[in-house]
Amino acid sequence: MIQRIVTELGPWAWWVLGIVLLILEVLLPGVFLVWIGIAAIITGALSLLLWGEAFWVWQVQWLGFAVLSLVAAVLGRRIVSRSDTASDQPYLNQRGQSLVGRTATLEHPIAEGRGRIRLDDTMWSVQGPDLPIGTRVRVTASNGRDLTVEPA
């Protein structure tokens, strides 16, 4: 059945395969099928040019498709990884990191290395040297849920 379809469609079978792969990429996004779809479309374009040639048998077409798929995947990965631009808000989803360098007053004293400060509308657990309540501290680091402070 597949051989009959390929025989009847001729070089257009590659175009159909490429379009199906691109549609699957839209339905199941993952930025992987798009490169294989592009390789199939390029193979289809080559098939349109070389269809009557004796050497352009199905084995050569599949080999060309495999090579083009690998090349397209490697080039696509380079293009996608190069397009990562610097953000104007690098700590957007890293709230603790965005607090490094800020100063605050201790709401609860640091005893045995643990205390609490208020920054904006949030109470934060802090680690640092033992300090009394009301001491001004500067945030020096964040490990996710706790801030590390030192006297300001």
- Residue 59, number of CB atoms within 10 A of its CB: 8
The per-residue pLDDT for range 8-66, each reduced to its tens digit, is: 788 888 899 999 999 999 998 877 899 999 999 999 999 888 888 888 888 899 999 99
The per-residue pLDDT for range 118-133, each reduced to its tens digit, is: 988 889 999 999 999 9
Q: What is the pLDDT of residue 22?
A: 93
CA distances from 52 to 7, 11, 12, 48, 49 (A): 13, 10, 14, 9, 8
Mean pLDDT of the chain: 87
Rounded mean pLDDT, 101-111? 93
User: Residue 114 — pLDDT band, cuts 50, 70, 90?
Assistant: very high
Q: What is the pLDDT of residue 2?
A: 64
Say yes or no: domain 95-151 is CATH 2.40.50.140: yes
CA–CA gap between residue 92 and residue 145 (Å, rounded): 16
**Residue ranges of the chain that CATH labels 2.40.50.140:** 95-151
Classify residue 111 as exposed, middle or buried by CB count within 10 Å of its CB (0-12, 13-18, 19+).
exposed
Whether 12 contacts 39, CB under 8 Å: no
